Amino acid sequence: MTSENKGVARSAGALAGIKVIDLTRVLGGPYCTMILSDHGADVIKVEPPQGDETRDWGPPFLDGDASYFIGVNRNKRALALDLGKPEGRAVLLRLLEGADVLVENFKPGGMEKWGLGYAEHLEPRFPGLIHCRVSGFGGEGPLGGLPGYDAVLQAMTGLMSINGDPSTGPLRMGTPVVDLATGLYSAVAILMALQERHRSGRGQFLDMTLHDCGMALLHPQAANFFLNGKRPMPLGNPHPNIAPYEKFATATCDIFIAIGNDAQFRNLADSLGRADLNQDARFKTNRDRLVNRAALTGELAGEFAKHDGHALCGRLLRQGMPVGPVLAVDEATAAPHTAAREMVTELDGYRGLGTPIKMSRTPGGTRRKPPKFGQDTNAILSEHGFSADEIKDLQTSGIAFTTRRT
């Protein structure tokens, strides 16, 4: 592995031989299909004539494509079709021959309007196909069919209400956690459906929504509410169930400490030279420490302020205590452990976050740079039986594209 190429794939991948037709745009769907492509699936990204809009979500840009697009579209091949025309849909049906998975994020009813609904059209023709739809709210219920976006779903599922602190009020999380979680859950659902297909020989429809996936992230606040009936409130860095579990300032940097049990707290007190805290009745158990959180925080803040935070974290971690420095993104991506885990990947000028899924026999990784718009249109159509003349006709008639329509 050269200094320029890092985190590259060293096997065909656990999903080699799986063909995925990817009609998704923006984030949740593309993140899902990148997970599959990292591990060997042949993902064919089908974009509309104007392209995935995240190609324009910058700066920064690299060769005309925004970082937002680059970050979730590696390892895919790209072609562009106008699915609004019957001829474009006919091409899509040719692409679906032999496909294992179709992933799309049109609003519910969109595929059905085009004569591509799963139950009525796709399942009878492709009985082994797994059709995964990613939408805001699904097709049923009071909000069925309505559009959904990450920040709006953070608000509507309660996630914003537990983020921030009493001074800020509800606060959007800095990472699009609902979109990313929906991509993750969708990948899990697809893998489950592929496994079940080994038994039944049949595909199925996967109804994945930002709403449901956002709701699924409400632990432990929902569990607390179900048990005590009290509305969870934003606490900032402290944990609602555990103490000490929050950020502290040191002489050199902020650190975060997450003490999960009484034995860890006793070790922490001893390591800080404050064995007296172990004898203090206010801090004996986690329940005691939660009741007396303010007093405990004051005691620990005074101790941590005396130390070099980086050195202290290194020492406490090696003594079995969960603690770490609060790093900025540039610091985290440059950290030695990040490099050791190949969590920054590079290939021929492309740089991105590596796959977190580490497999011993079939490791995944970067195989291809994120595709330029329509760069594989001709090759993919040729693979699916279209002649050179047919491909030319599709392009001249505005069905297939190699350059973006403005």
Tell me: the pLDDT tens digits for 119-149?
A: 999 999 999 999 999 999 999 999 999 999 9
209's CB contacts (< 8 A; 6+ apart) are 134, 135, 136, 137, 138, 148, 182
Calculate the average pLDDT of the chain: 96
What's the token pair of residue 138?
């699904």
Tell me: the pLDDT tens digits for 307-349?
A: 999 999 999 999 999 999 999 999 999 999 999 999 999 999 9
Per-residue confidence (pLDDT) for residue 324, from 0 to 100:
97
Tell me: the pLDDT tens digits for 15-67?
A: 999 999 999 999 999 999 999 999 999 999 999 999 999 999 999 999 999 99
DSSP summary character for residue 6: B
What global pTM score does this model have? 0.93
What's the token pair of residue 59?
């700066």
Q: Map out the domains of the chain with their CATH numbers.
A: 19-218+336-401 (3.40.50.10540), 245-249+254-325 (3.30.1540.10)
User: CA angle, 405 as apex, 400 and 406 as ends, to 5°?
Assistant: 170
337's CB contacts (< 8 A; 6+ apart) are none
Q: Using alpha carbons, list the distances in angstroms from residue 102 to 85, 116, 128, 187, 255.
A: 19, 11, 11, 12, 44
Indicate whether 364 pLDDT > 70.
yes
- 42, 100, 150, 179: the active-site residue: 179
Distance CA 161, CA 300 (A): 28
Tell me: the pLDDT tens digits for 75-90?
A: 999 999 999 999 999 9
Active site residue 179: yes
Q: Quick one: which of 208, 171, 272 has its CA closest to 31?
A: 208
Tokens 């420490």 locate to 289
At 3, the pLDDT band (50, 70, 90 cuts) reads low
Per-residue confidence (pLDDT) for residue 1, from 0 to 100:
40
Indicate whether 2 pLDDT > 70.
no
Indicate whether 237 pLDDT > 80.
yes
123's CB contacts (< 8 A; 6+ apart) are 129, 131, 203, 205
Per-residue confidence (pLDDT) for residue 235, from 0 to 100:
87
What mean pLDDT comes out for the span 202-216? 98
Helix (H) or strand (E) holding 380: helix 377-383
Does residue 3 or residue 389 have the better pLDDT? 389
The percentage of the chain sitting over the pLDDT mark of 90, rounded to a whole number, equals 98
Dihedral of CA atoms 120, 124, 125, 126 in degrees, nearest 10, equals 110
